[in-house]
Amino acid sequence: MTQGKDLTVILAAPRGFCAGVQRAISIVETTLEKYGAPVYVRHEIVHNKFVVDSLRAKGAIFVKELDEVPSGAHVVFSAHGVPKVIPQAAIAANLDFLDATCPLVSKVHREVEQHHAAGRTVLLVGHRGHPEVIGTMGQVPEGSVILIETDDDARTVVIEDPENLAYATQTTLSVDEVKDILAILKARFPHIQGPRKEDICYATTNRQAAVKAIAAQADAIIIIGAPNSSNSNRLVEAALAAGCPKATLCQRATDIDWAWLESVNRLGVSAGASAPEVLVEELINTLQQRFNVTLQEVKVIDEDVVFHIPAKLRKA
């Protein structure tokens, strides 16, 4: 039963799961169906507690490192990608592994390898400690990639051979943030080589565009996503940068700060690429219990990207 004031909820679209996340989750689920529990997963398959808990309930066991996995077991690598030493270690430990790395992250891996093979130093624009960055830097020998996190890094980085230089980017960054950093690098190093097609993934770009499209219409925006989800945090930043007075990250409806919503009449809602739509529905249902909710949706683009699971699982 609705009560209280009227609240317009503006849903950004697209939102939630991207093709890479859907593929990674399907790999774990299909591996469980084919081989039975347990199936081990190195690190969180995607950065979302609800998803991880759901897979754990089906028989997935999440581990930090491969030495926690018994010999002969089935193990899945997360969507964020892993350094080359991880598959090598899995083979040495007699583990049957499946790689759930997002194909768009794998694209960045191959770019970095190709630049290294051509004798170029690679500048990787990304966030230190993020699993995707660790995996990308781990495709080539240590010291071959220099991490660029900020504008200041771009302004001060010292390159021994600026004629043999390339860049790549983490796939889940803010489009605007990367644009500024790349502008600095290209001004300093006119011969720097980049990808033929930008590294920031379509889903990150589309979700940021959708949030920007609703920012000016909303008194506040809630982004459903995990605190350790890069693309979800970037959506909060995009909302604020596009003019929304306030925006916050919320893992699920139970985490809502109701005092934060007191002066809000028009609430924007989106979800990071690793957040399932069921959590958006949960949020709306919870809001409907307190407010007279009117729903609107603002769609900036239709998405039809699909990434298939590995062939040996499709045969199941």
Q: Coil, strand or helix: which one is 177?
A: helix
Residue 31 and residue 76 in contact, taking contact as beta carbons nearer than 8 Å: yes
Tell me how many degrees the CA angle 130-157-135 measures, rounded to the nearest 5.
25
Could you list the beta-strand ranges (E) of the chain.
Answer: 6-13, 39-42, 60-63, 74-77, 96-99, 121-125, 145-148, 165-169, 220-224, 247-250, 266-271, 292-299
Percentages of the chain per state (helix, strand, coil), in multiples of 5: 40, 20, 40
Amino acid at 33: E
Pairing of strands 6-13, 121-125: unpaired
Q: Which of 29, 44, 111, 132 is catalytic?
A: 132
262 is annotated as an active-site residue: no
Residue 105 and residue 79 in contact, taking contact as beta carbons nearer than 8 Å: yes
User: Among residues 230, 248, 234, 239, which one has the least CA distance to residue 174?
Assistant: 234
Q: Which tokens sit at 102?
A: 């997002």
Burial class (CB in 10 A: 0-12, 13-18, 19+), 6: exposed
Q: List active site positions.
A: 132
